[in-house]
Structure 1
Amino acid sequence: MDQEQAKSFLKDIINVNSVNPPGNETEVANKLKALFDEHDIETELVEYDENRTNLIAHLRGDKDGPVLGLTGHMDVVPPGENEWEHNPFGAEEEDGKIYGRGACDMKSGLVGCVMAMVSLKEEGLPQSGEITLLATVGEEAGAVGAHQLTEKGYADQLDALIIAEPTYNQMKISHKGALWPQIITYGKTAHGSMPENGINAVRHMNEIIHQILGESFELSYEEDDLLGGPTYSVGVIKGGSNTNVVPDQCFATIDIRTVPSQDHQQIIEQIEQVIETVRKKYPDLKAEIRSLNDQSPVKTSSEDPFVQLVQDVVKESNGQAELGGMTGYTDGSQFIHANKKFPIVVLGPGETSIAHQPDEYVEIDKYLDSINLYKEIAKKFLA
């Protein structure tokens, strides 16, 4: 497959509006399947929901050997309210770049994996072992596709995994986890002119948030050499129905980004302790915690042989191959829960700072380079 074909197919995938919600990943999956069918590469569709389908592809050698996993998600975030200079789903090419929602995060990485498999098949490779592609739904909203595939055992046979998220073709071997606890306080409505007859859920929430943001609340952790420490911020507060009504409900959601030394359940228990402390001041406090998102941090040892193999390939291509970490999470947060442990490396052509921005793009050279990187890694790993 030549470079023009690789560019054309990427544009075709960017053209698909797979904004999550609702997703509509099935159209992307069908296009990937059609290309794989043309090249006699085995595929399987795994339905998640209406118009939402994961795709699994297998490129097998004639002899037994290790299994290299490649993965990318098919959904994208909405274009946003800010005006674009380019059509978000037009896949317009200009000045060596392809513009469009998902061009960076992460259709270029996903299609790079697909193109690498097709190119290897045309070369009669691999002779042994297998390359398995896991194209997932719903990464942008809880990694639900990766969770489904992990639960069904699709990752259990992998010996190593490359996640093609945007890293500008540099290596990431760790990323933070995400825990999004939603705190809900319950009160009692009353007329705004007689607040003493009600129970103010916003007032209770204010005290809880004050405690969490205060100096006395500390998350326990060990500093990570690549990720540093955890972060947390209050992202959403909603409460009340009208100015002249004492609010009987209030919602607050906290975005906590965790490092490998932390336990998410212990963090929830810390927040529960805060609520108990506030209850001493407000005995009529009623509150609960719901987890809206729970993604584990990921870390692969720099000494792992697969990391060193990938590092050699990247260094040969880029001239350098520094190991790094990511503050955001990936589908790896789910795949690490497979019944078999394997090294995970994040490597993709997009630039992280461009992701989720208006006029998102991928540099064509980086996209084409990623195809060669995936090919060379596969050749060495499956040799």
Structure 2
Amino acid sequence: MDREQAISFLQEIIQIKSVNPPGNETEVALKIQALFNQHGIETELVEYDENRTNLIARLMGENSGPVLGLTGHMDVVPTGEIEWEHDPFGAEEVNGNIYGRGAVDMKSGLAACALSMVSLKEQGFPKRGEIILLATVGEEAGAVGARQLTEKGYADHLDALIIAEPTNNQIKIAHKGALWPQIVTYGKTSHGSMPEVGVNAVVHMNEIIQRILDNPFHFEDEEDPLLGRPSFSVNVIQGGSNTNVVPDQCSANIDIRTIPSLDHQQIIQQIEQVIERTKEKYPELKAKVRILNDQAPVKTSGDDPFVKLVQSVVKAADGPIELGGMTGYTDGSQFVSAKKKFPIIILGPGETSLAHQPDEFVEIDKYLNTVHLYQEIAKKFLT
């Protein structure tokens, strides 16, 4: 495909409103499938839910060999309450940039994956091995599509995986995990003028949260060279119905970002232990812990041969590079659960800081350069 065709394809998928919730990724999947059909590339649709469909595409060589995975998600976050200067779904081309929700996170990376496969097919690659694209639903809300594909075995035969999230084409070999516990306390209502008759769920929650904040699981003792320290933040608290009613329920949502040295199950057990100790002060306390999101951290060794291969390709194209990590999670959190272990890198067009922002945009040249990078990585890996 030439430059204008590549730009037009990206604009077309940005114009599809695959906002999550609810997702509506099927239209994106069908648009990419149509491109592959034009070029004789095998595809498969894997339905997740109504109007929500994962896409698998395979480009196979004549002989057996390694399997390179490419992946990107098709959903985007809402446009937000702040007014945009550019139409969020107009995919306007202005001064060498394409604007729109998902331009960075991550339809440009997804499009680059697809176009690299089309270009390789036109060049007669691969001669051996296989390239497989895993285009997923629901990454922005729990990586549900990646989980489904992993559970169905679509990642079990991969030998390496590139996640096309925005890194400005810098190589990331690690990202933090995410654990989102929700604590719910249960009390007993009473009239606000007679609080002694009720059981105040908000008071109980306050005590639990304060104890957790006083000692957040010894996180200060943990640090990763690429990811830094884990983080802990209480971000949502809801409780009570009216000023004159003692609240009988309160919930608190916590965002914990983890590094590979931490075990999520142990953190959950520590939260439950805090609740049990709080009962010594409030014997009538009733509480439970729900897990809203559980995404594993990801880390590939900098000495892995695939990482070295990717470094050589990126260095040849863009000059010296350093390996890094990301604070947010990706679909890699689910793909690491595949039966077979394989190196995972994160490499894609666009500035990470623009993701989820008003007037999100990607540089066209960076997007097109990523198409080239994916091709060169595939050629080296499958030679």
CA separation in 2, counterparts of 1:16 and 1:172? 28
Q: Residue in 2 aligned with 1:223?
A: 223
AA aligned to 2:316 is E
**Cα RMSD, aligned residues only:** 0.9
> Match for residue 150 of structure 1?
150
In structure 1, the residue matched to 2:181 is 181
- The residue aligned with 1:368 is 368
Residues 26-105 of structure 1: pairs in structure 2 closer than 5 A: 26-105=26-105
| 1:43 positional shift | 0.2
Q: Once the 2 structures are TM-superposed, how far is the Cα of residue 212 of structure 1 from its aligned partner?
A: 1.0
1:271 partner letter: I
Report what 1:195 is aligned to: 195
> Tell me, what secondary structure is at the counterpart of 2:342?
coil
* Cα shift at 1:25: 0.2
- The CA deviation at 1:287 is 0.3
1:267 match: 267
1:369 alignment partner, SS class? helix
Q: Aligned-pair distance for 1:228?
A: 1.3
Q: Provide the aligned length of Structure 1 versus Structure 2.
A: 383
Distance 1:341 1:184 in 2: 37
> How does the TM-score come out when normalised to structure 2?
0.99
1:262–1:221 distance in 2 versus 1, CA, 3 Å = farther
Cα separation, 2, equivalents of 1:43 and 1:134: 10
Q: Within the alignment, does 1:109 sit opposite 2:96 as a pair? A: no
Q: CA contact under 8 A between 1:219 and 1:267: conserved in structure 2?
A: no
Contact 2:216/2:232 (<8 A) preserved: no
How much has 1:321 moved relative to structure 2? 1.7
* Cross-structure match for 1:297: 297
Indicate if the aligned counterparts of 2:23 and 2:138 stay in contact, CA closer than 8 A.
Answer: yes
Q: Which amino acid aligns with 1:82?
A: I
Q: Report the Cα offset of residue 362 of structure 1.
A: 0.4
Aligned mates of 2:339, 2:295 — CA distance in 1: 17
Following TM superposition, by how much is the alpha carbon of 1:220 offset from its aligned partner in structure 2, in angstroms?
7.5
Secondary structure class of the residue paired with 1:280: coil
The whole-number CA distance in structure 2 between the counterparts of 1:280 and 1:288 is 16
- Distance between the aligned counterparts of 1:315 and 1:219, measured in 2? 36
The runs of 5 or more residues in structure 1 that have no matched partner are: none
**Cα pair 2:217 2:267 within 8 Å, conserved:** no
Amino acid at match of 2:191: H
2-structure distance, mates of 1:241, 1:218: 35
**Cα distance in 2 between the residues matched to 1:222 and 1:313:** 33
Aligned pair in 2 of structure 1 residues 109, 252: CA closer, same or farther (>3 Å)?
Answer: same
Q: Which residue is equivalent to 1:164?
A: 164
User: In the alignment, residue 368 of structure 1 is paired with which amino acid?
Assistant: L
3-state SS of paired residue (2:180): strand
Counterpart of 1:331?
A: 331
Report if the CA contact (8 A) 1:221-1:261 is conserved.
Answer: no
Deviation at 1:218, TM superposition (A): 2.4
Give the AA of the match of 2:110: L
- Distance in 2 (CA, whole Å) between partners of 1:55 and 1:216 is 40
Who is 2:377 aligned against? Answer: 377
Q: Could you report, residue by residue, the CA deviation over 1:234-288 in whole angstroms, capped at 9, with x for unpaired residues? A: 0100001111111000000100000000000000011111111211110000000
Percentage of matched positions with identical amino acids: 75
Residues 298-346 of structure 1 show CA distances to partners (whole Å, capped at 9, x for unaligned) of 0000000000000000111110221000000000000000000000000
The code of the aligned residue for 2:282 comes to: Y
Alignment match, 2:319? 319
Residue pair 1:76, 1:101 contacting (<8 A) in 2 also: yes
Alpha-carbon separation, structure 1, partners of 2:151 and 2:235:
30
Query: Are the aligned partners of 1:312 and 1:321 in contact in 2 as well (CA < 8 Å)?
Result: no
Q: Which residue of 1 aligns with 2:278?
A: 278
Task: Give how far 1:215 is off.
Answer: 4.1
**Cα distance in structure 2, aligned partners of 1:215 and 1:49:** 41
What is the DSSP-based 3-state SS (H/G/I as helix, E as strand, rest coil) of the residue aligned with 1:302? coil
Gaps of 5+ in 2: none
Task: Give the letter aligned to residue 125 of structure 2.
Answer: L
